[in-house]
Structure 1
Amino acid sequence: MSQEPAGSAPAPATGARPGLKERVAHRYRQLPLRSRLAMLTAVAVAIAVAASAAACWLVTRDRLTEQLDETLSQQAKDIPGQYAEALRAKCNSPLPGDARLQLPTPYTIQIVTADGTVCTSWEKTRIPAQGSDVAVARGQAEEATHTTRSNDGQEMRVVTRAYRGPITDARGNQVAISVASPMAQITDPLSQLALILLIVTGIGVLGAATAGLWVARAGLTPVDRLTEAVEHVARTEDLTIRIPAEGEDEIARLSRSFNSMTAALASSRDLQQQLIADAGHELRTPLTSLRTNIDLLVRSEQSGRQLPPGDKEALLSSVKAQMGELAALIGDLQELSRTPETGPGGAAAVPVVALHDIVDSALRRARLRGPTLDITAELDPWYVRAEPAALERAVVNLLDNAVKFSPEAGAVEVALHKGELRVRDHGPGIPEEELPHVFERFWRSPSARSLPGSGLGLSIVARTAYQAGGTVELRAAAGGGTEALLSLPGAATPPPDLPVG
């Protein structure tokens, strides 16, 4: 039998009912946002009003009590002189327990002896002497102030002062004079004030709740519009919807962000649809030609009528070329659709590569494709942060364009200096009106449509340059031909703490 270690707390029972705090929090989270805002506003105002009311009540109580104490203290000073004869006649002898003073005053006046005996006004109820009163009578204190109850249960405020005069107790000791007044003159106004403050607090809380609900409803109207727009987009996939954004507050910023997001999504969807349509259009021509050639070969085999060797070889060469064209087109499409590989570190995860080595490798491939061309190169060291495969593909595309449009036995000049790669050919050049379109997907110059290619090469170059933080430009070269400029940020030496990719 297993035993629990001593002192361990019992495990909570599975499926135990949540406590009051959890239930209240759950109910609160289920409320609409405007109701929660109104509730929070009402609670905040209730706390503020309650604190203000409590402070007002306490200050009023203290001030009224202070005024009453000052009045009683002054009476305790004045009464012995005003009623000296009466005090002397009645109290200048041993005081009996029921001694009474007939004094025309609204206050309760008592003489307190050192042994705690009191002599009270005739028409007033006796107030038992307290320890502080006796201490004053014995000369241990000059004055005492306190609240107590008379014999009939009435709450009284009492001020006792030492008396220096002809009145003494039976042993000749000095006595003290106590002057008292009912606390009702303070508690009654305070009760009325508390009732008024309670009513005002209730009205304030109700008003705050109403105002909070109104403010929440007015403030959340743009949020409601945003919610409706999001629901509309989710329901209809209509990305043309826009939300009016006025001002510079958080709601306006949120609305502008939503509008920017829907515009970006709409643009992305349009580009996607355009890419699919253009890809389908570009694939249709080689597929049709390929299908025609294959049909001819199949029909020849099925009918037993062999094609002439020359025609059959031409068909097979055409099929091979079209398959290569399809493979190149599919590769270009994959390159355009590929997401850049970045790790958790963002740009820091992209390796540092030697651009001059990549250009040198691409030059070897370009010389194989244009064996009759004079390709010269001047390459200075330059290190950039980019994806090696994508960067090499971009450089190869620039060199392929130069090789493709160069005349037989022409020249191609390549130079890399301070991060700017210049590729210059001596071909027919690009008309000025066509230069703005050269980086568009599937765009091909009318003069180049008979040449092999997918129309995606320069789009890949532009995309790679943008991802590496650089630029690319095509312009007419002096003396004829075209000059391509690829500029990439970097340095002439690699960072010492990073390996070169």
Structure 2
Amino acid sequence: MSPAARFRALPLRSRLALLVAVAVAVAVAGVAAVSWVMVRTQLRDQLDRSLMATNPNPEVGRVLEVGRCVTRPAESKQDIAGNLNATVQIVTAQGGHCWVSGPATLPVTAVDQEIAAGKRRATLQDVTTSDGVDMRVYTTPAQVSGGRVFGISIAKPLADIDKPLSTLAWVLLFVSGVGVVGAGAAGLWVARTGLRPVDELTDAVEHIARTEDLTVRIPDEGDDEIARLSRSFNSMTAALASSQERQAQLIADAGHELRTPLTSLRTNIELLARSEDTGRAIPPEDRRELLASVKAQMTELAALIGDLQELSRPDAVSPGPLGVVALHEVAGTALSRARLRGPELDFSSALEPWYVRGEAPALERAVVNVLDNAVKFSPPGGRVEVTLRAGELTVRDHGPGIPAEDLPHVFERFWRSPSARALPGSGLGLSIVARTVQRAGGTARLRAARDGGPGTEAVLRIPGAPAPPPSVVPDQ
């Protein structure tokens, strides 16, 4: 497994703590490195200034007065070194040297010879003695009476700055380690604290998955991202609970509605089967009535199943393409079908042109459902008035009407008023009407007749225009 895959396999809080520790480690390492380099630069500058400020002339003068060139400290037999805290030696252009002061002699480089010959100015450089000691050397030209030119090398050990730098490095390393460990611990604590609501959310999701209990709610105090996530989760579970409740109610209502026609259908079929099994013929008139009843119940079952399929379809799924629909033509077609179903009724219509965007078959079915409702509740010889003006389709019947306390429930699934329970129907027609009209961007409602007379008015208001858009042929 690659390091990236192993990292992704860690828990989220561990990844956050590790990222915090790495970020702090990089920051601390950068600060420590910059601090060490700055201190080293300052110490070397201070050492260089100290070398350049050293005055070796008295000691050099004593060596020149004695007239003896000592090449090693051990060869000195008299105290001519003075009290300088540095190694000093005289360098000649030929590469020779005379020890003046200090615990060791310095190697003579080509740069030192050029300075002794007067070919180069004073220079700072790093050298290593024969004893393996690293030194910082400052070589400067000098001249004595008689015009003789030579060089003077002044050196101090680099250990004077290396030891403090080493100590500083260990201190920075220790502090950095403590900081990284502390940052990792703090990051883990922050991750645990910050992700506690996420843990609660996870526990709630696992509880719901295990028990299917959608009543679980998560505390959502505050306005941060976690609170927003909790509120979104609570809204989702509430919507799921409502959907589950509606689904259970739909199944219960559908089972109740299906039970009656199925029971009647089963009874009629059993009578016919018993007649065949026993050989006792049913009178022709009774047999015709039984067969007609079976046919009517099968038709009712087919209509109920179709209505259930229509209502079970998600709102986001469209049964057909959207297009420009001539609502007045749809209403005219539906009116022709309604006349066939209520031949004893008097229909009047006033349909002005109105074009809407929607599903032509669904809109026609909605208008047919409204007209069927008017036909069902109209008394024999009654009148049904259909008008379409400015996008408002009104269907008025002269039946018994709907009590005011029942009007809020007319668009609910399977709801039927007490006076309509003996009439054929599934109680889903107006629910389909409301859903279809809402999908087209309109509204549907039922109200008492505005003139105060008997009957009910069904009003469908759908946005549109009195003329189709240019180059658009309305759906028929």
Instruction: Give the structure-2-normalised TM-score.
Output: 0.87
Cα 1:280–1:116, aligned 2, differ >3 Å: closer, same or farther?
A: same
Cα deviation per residue 1:34-70 (whole Å; 9 max; x = unaligned)?
A: 2222222222222221221111111111111111112
1:413 equivalenced with 2:385 (yes/no): yes
SS of the equivalent of 2:144 reads: coil
> For 1:154-175, what per-residue CA distance to the aligned partner results, in whole angstroms no more than 9, with x for missing partners?
1111223344x4367xxx4533
* Aligned position for 1:111: 90
In structure 2, what is the equivalent of residue 144 of structure 1? Answer: 123
CA contact (8 A) 2:87 2:101 kept: no
The corresponding residue for 1:431 is 403
Q: Which residue in the other structure is 2:339 paired with?
A: 367
Give 1:383's match in structure 2, choosing from 332, 347, 356: 356
Alpha carbons of structure 1 residues 70 and 300: separation in structure 2 relative to 1, 3 Å: same
Q: Note the alpha carbon deviations across 1:322-369, whole angstroms, 9 max, x for none.
A: 2221111111111111235759xxx9x952231424333323222322
Matches within 5 A, 1:266-415: 266-340=241-315, 342=317, 350-356=321-327, 357-371=329-343, 372-384=345-357, 386-415=358-387
CA distance, structure 1, for counterparts of residue 164 and residue 469 of structure 2: 83
1:174 to 149, 160, 184: 149
Select 1:71's aligned residue among 50, 75, 99: 50
1:484 and 2:455 correspond? no
Structure 2 residue aligned with 1:16: none
CA distance in 1, matches of 2:389, 2:99: 115
2:62 to 86, 92, 106: 86
For residues 498 and 112 of structure 1, what CA distance do their matches in structure 2 show?
A: 107
Partners of 1:341 and 1:245 in 2: CA distance? 30
Deviations 1:199-235 (A, max 9, x none): 1112112212222222222222222222222222222
Contact 1:332 1:457 in 2 (8 A): yes
**Given that residues 356 and 462 in structure 2 are in contact (C-alpha distance below 8 angstroms), is that contact kept between their aligned partners in structure 1?**
no
Compared CA separation, residues 443 and 135, structure 1 to 2 (3 A): farther
Q: Distance in 2 between matches of 1:111 and 1:360?
A: 124
Pair 409,176 (structure 1): closer, same or farther in 2 beyond 3 Å: farther
Separation in 1, partners of 2:36, 2:193: 36
The equivalent residue for 1:462 is 434
Residue 147 of structure 1 contacts residue 156 of structure 1 at CA under 8 Å; is this kept in 2?
A: yes
Q: Aligned-pair RMSD on alpha carbons?
A: 3.0
Q: CA deviation at 1:268?
A: 1.5
Deviation at 1:437, TM superposition (A): 0.5
In structure 1, the residue matched to 2:220 is 245
The 3 A distance-change label for structure 1 pair 138 and 408 is: farther
Cα distance in 2 for residues equivalent to 1:495 and 1:113: 108
Query: What amino acid sits opposite 1:280 in the alignment?
Result: G
C-alpha separation between the residues in 1 aligned to 2:88 and 2:106?
9
Structure-2 change in CA distance of 1:377 and 1:152 (3 Å): same
Secondary structure of the structure 2 residue equivalent to 1:175:
strand
Relative to 1, partners in 2 of residues 1:418 and 1:51: Cα closer, same or farther, differing over 3 Å? farther
Q: Distance in 2 between matches of 1:47 and 1:88?
A: 58
- TM-aligned CA distance change 1:65 to 1:334, over 3 Å: same
1:87 offset after TM fit, Å?
Answer: 6.1
Q: CA deviation at 1:320?
A: 2.2
SS across alignment from 1:429: coil
5+ residue gaps, structure 1, are: 1-21
Q: Partner of 1:9 in structure 2? A: none
SS of the equivalent of 2:269 reads helix
Cα distance change on mapping 1:370 and 1:476 into 2, 3 Å: same
Cα 1:414–1:138 shift into 2, 3 Å: farther
Residue 225 of structure 1 aligns to a residue in which SS?
A: helix
Aligned to 2:425: 453
Deviation at 1:494, TM superposition (A): 5.4
Question: How many equivalent pairs are there?
Answer: 466
TM-score, length-normalised on structure 1?
0.83
1:319 is paired with a residue whose SS is helix
Counterparts of 2:17 and 2:356 in 1: how far apart (Å)?
A: 60
- Give the letter for the 1:89 counterpart: E
SS in 2 for 1:469: coil
Q: Indicate the SS of the match to 1:174.
A: strand
| Alignment equivalent of 2:229, drawn from 254, 263, 266 | 254
Structure 2 CA distance for aligned equivalents of residues 311 and 150 of structure 1: 133
Q: Mean alpha-carbon deviation: is it higher for 409-418 or for 104-113?
A: 409-418
Percent identity between matched residues is 57
